[in-house]
Amino acid sequence: MQTRTPHWSPDPLDRRSFLRLTGAAAGASLVGAGNASAASYGPGAAFLGKVVKYTDPKLLRPSGELDVKQAKSALDECLGALYSVSRGDTVWSKLFSHTDVVGLKVNCLAGQHLSSNPLLVQVVAEGVQSAGVKPENIIIFDMQDAHLAKAGFEYNRGGKGVQCYGTGSDYDSQLTSQGKVVTNLSKILSTTCTAIVNMPILKDHLYTGISAAMKNHFGCIMTPHKYHHPKGGDPFVADNYAIPQIHGKERLILCEALTACFDGGPSPDPSRLSECLFQPNALLVSKDAVALDYVGFRLIEDERKKRGRPSLKEDGRAPMYIVTAAKYGLGIRDFQKTQLLELPKV
C-alpha cells in the first residue's frame, strides 16, 4: 500500500482562505441541532483525512459494463486499507449490525451515462448483508422512482430482497433547520434508516463547483433547488451535510469515479459527453466527506487544467463549502495533511 500526502496545492480555492479557515476550526460550532458541536459528528481520529483511491481500468469491461468480481476485490482492498486490517471483507461487521436498516444513497439524476452503477450498488448491498442485515432492511434510494429507473435500477417496495424506491413526496411534515438550510427531510433518511452508505458520483457542478460526498445529500431533502446558489454552494452544502440525521447516520462513503465529469455538470448535454467526461477508472472510499470532496475537487481541477479549461475559482464557482465544512469540524481541518492511500500497491 502506498501512502502519501497529496502534492496538490489548494491555490484554486485560495490558499490563504484554506489555511485561515481550517486552522481556526477547532472552536467552531454549528447553528441548530441544539447548537451541538460539529466535532461531535466527525469521522473519528483514526479516519480523519483518510481517503482510499483504487484505480484500475479493468474495473470496467471493454463493453463498459462493471466487472463485478474485480469491483468486489477492489472494495475489499479499500476497506482493508481504510481500517488497517488484512481482510477488508471483515469490515462490514464493524460498520453495521443485524439490527440496522441501511440506506444506500445513490445519485441517478444524470441518467445511465453518469449515475450510480447498479452492479456496484449490488456489491455494496451484498457487503452490508454479510454483516447480518436482512436484504429487506437495505434500501437503495434517491429522490424519485423515475430517476432510479432511468439509471437502470429495478423498483422494489415491500417485496422480497433489497428494497429500491425514491422518496417521491414522502418528506417529514416538520422542518429541520441547520445553519442557513431550512427544509424537510426524506422519511427514508429520517425515520426508516438507522445508517447510510453514501454513494455519490464525482461530477462538476454548474453552481456548487463539484458534486461528490456532501452534495449527494441534497437528494435527501425536499428543497435542494433553494440551495443551488452560484457561489460554490457555500455555506449551504456544508450546512445541509451538518444536519445530524444526515451526517450522524453516514457510516461509509463510496464515491464512484469510474467515469467522472469535469465540465458541464451535473447533467451534461448528451451531445457533448466527449467534451465533459473523463475516465479516472477509480473508486474513492472514506469516512471523511470533507477529505473525500477535497480529493475529488483536485481530480476535477487537474483534468480541467489538462483540457485547457479555467479553474473553478476562475470560473466563479470554487467549492468553498469544503472549507466551511472543515471549519465546522465535519472532517479534516488541514488539507495539507490529507492521507491519500493509492491502490493497488505498485
Alpha carbon distance 308, 300 (integer Å): 12
Q: What local confidence, expressed as pLDDT, does residue 7 receive?
A: 39
Judged against a pLDDT cut of 60, whether residue 205 lies above it is answered with yes
Alpha carbon distance 7, 336 (integer Å): 9
Alpha carbon distance 107, 256 (integer Å): 10
62-89 per-residue burial string, b: 16 or more CB within 10 A, e: under 16: eeeebebeebbbbbbbbbbbbbeeeebe
Least confident of 139-143, 159-163, 232-236: 232-236
Judged against a pLDDT cut of 90, whether residue 188 lies above it is answered with yes
Selected residue with higher pLDDT from 44 and 82: 82
Q: What local confidence, expressed as pLDDT, does residue 200 receive?
A: 98
Mean pLDDT across the chain: 89
pLDDT (average), residues 206-219? 96
The residue segments making up the domain with residue 38 are 2-343
Taking the alpha carbons at both ends of the chain, their separation in whole angstroms is: 8
Given phi > 0 = left and psi -120 to 50 = alpha, else beta, which region is 318? beta
Q: Name the band, by pLDDT with cuts 50, 70 and 90, for residue 74.
A: very high
What number of other Cβ atoms are within 10 A of residue 187's Cβ?
15
pLDDT (average), residues 172-195? 97
pLDDT (average), residues 33-59? 74
Alpha carbon distance 200, 221 (integer Å): 15
| pLDDT (tens digit per residue) in 103-115 | 999 999 888 889 9
| pLDDT (tens digit per residue) in 325-342 | 999 999 998 999 999 999
Question: 232, 319 in Cβ contact below 8 A?
Answer: yes
Question: 224, 215 in Cβ contact below 8 A?
Answer: no
Judged against a pLDDT cut of 90, whether residue 238 lies above it is answered with yes
CA angle 186-191-194, nearest 5°? 110
Judged against a pLDDT cut of 60, whether residue 116 lies above it is answered with yes
Q: What local confidence, expressed as pLDDT, does residue 44 receive?
A: 86
Judged against a pLDDT cut of 90, whether residue 41 lies above it is answered with no
Alpha carbon distance 274, 184 (integer Å): 37
pLDDT (average), residues 127-156? 97
Least confident of 176-180, 217-221, 247-251, 341-345: 341-345
Alpha carbon distance 149, 257 (integer Å): 21
Q: What local confidence, expressed as pLDDT, does residue 145 receive?
A: 97
Q: What local confidence, expressed as pLDDT, does residue 42 receive?
A: 64
Alpha carbon distance 74, 80 (integer Å): 10
Q: What local confidence, expressed as pLDDT, does residue 228 receive?
A: 87
pLDDT (average), residues 74-82? 97
Three-state DSSP at 90 gives: helix
Report CA-CA distances (Å) from 201 to 119, 131, 253, 257.
14, 25, 11, 6
Question: 280, 202 in Cβ contact below 8 A?
Answer: yes
Q: What local confidence, expressed as pLDDT, does residue 40 receive?
A: 44
Judged against a pLDDT cut of 60, whether residue 214 lies above it is answered with yes
pLDDT (average), residues 50-66? 95
Judged against a pLDDT cut of 80, whether residue 62 lies above it is answered with yes
Three-state DSSP at 205 gives: strand
Judged against a pLDDT cut of 80, whether residue 54 lies above it is answered with yes
Phi, psi values for residue 196, rounded to 5°: -130, 135
Judged against a pLDDT cut of 60, whether residue 86 lies above it is answered with yes
Helix (H) or strand (E) holding 71, with range, is: helix 68-83
Task: Domain count for the chain, please give it.
Answer: 1
Residue in 17, 20, 39 with CA at minimum distance from that of residue 28: 39
